[in-house]
Amino acid sequence: MPDVVMRRILKECDFVSIVSLQKTCHTLRNFIDDTKPEPRIDQIQLSGSASSISLVIFCGDNWEKYPKGQKIQLDYNNPSQFKLDFQKNFGFRRSVLPYFFLNFPLDTVFLEVLKYSIPSAFRVETFCMSALDQSSILLILPLLCPKTLKYLEITGIKGRYDRMEIDGLVKLEQWKRATSLNIKRVPVSAKIQEFEHFSIAKVFFEEVTMDDLMFLRKKFLNPASTSEHFQLFYSKIPNQEPIIQEFGEPFEDRDQFFIARGKRWFFKRNEKELVEIGYFPSFLF
């Protein structure tokens, strides 16, 4: 079969079909390795440990409606084989991967393997990772292309609430260029100013100070600001009196039984936009 025809056929194939074709014969496998077709892939999930790696790939228009969408799961007990396959299947990709999930929170051995498996400047739009501390994140995040990364999600380990230092993360270009952030299950040690550039952010602090609240109000009231939503989860916050002194009398937020749940303040950003600040028992937004 002419190469032109074969290339056209591969262009119409999805990821699952190409993986199957690679197993049919040496000639076809070598042709695929040489031409490096890029089938559509919507999401890659990696989980497990160095001795038991699970690679799950979602692709197709209806992958969110699995099992109607396409899903392929590959399991490895050999890190070297995983590294070989990952580089072969994803090392050449030029298109942006919409979602990349990592769940190896306590296995730094595998993260070291993955560090040498991911191609340089891996083009990802959304990156989600479970981690015990920033050292694990620093093994992977610098490998991602800062120009394509838009959303960053970090999840702490369930049942462990030790404060996470992020002094190394905030220096990365990937951190500085991302526009949305979600840090869950773990309080972070950082100044509120380190989150200033995010349009949307959800962050857990051990303590929120009055200076933090004043900074956020100033940030959101700036007419040129692109900030949309900032949600602060906290363990400790100033009492209500100094907040009311600075922000004025709030609107009471009540549930369907008229029981007070929290307080809200509204400020005018410009002629068309209002800024809302909500104060609730465990978070601010």
pLDDT tens-place string over residues 161-182: 678 899 999 999 999 999 999 9
pLDDT of residue 143: 93
The answer on pLDDT for 62 being more than 60 is no
pLDDT tens-place string over residues 245-277: 788 787 777 665 555 567 778 888 777 777 877
Please count the other Cβ atoms lying within 10 Å of the Cβ belonging to residue 242.
11
122 - beta bridge partners?
144
Summary mean pLDDT of the chain: 80
Ordered by start, the domain boundaries in the chain are 1-37, 40-190, 205-285
The mean-pLDDT minimum among 40-54, 108-122, 205-219, 263-277 falls in 263-277
- d(C-alpha 143, C-alpha 116), whole Å: 10
Residue pair 82/117 in contact (Cβ under 8 Å)? The answer is: yes
With a pLDDT cut of 70, the percent of the chain lying above it is: 81
pLDDT of residue 152: 96
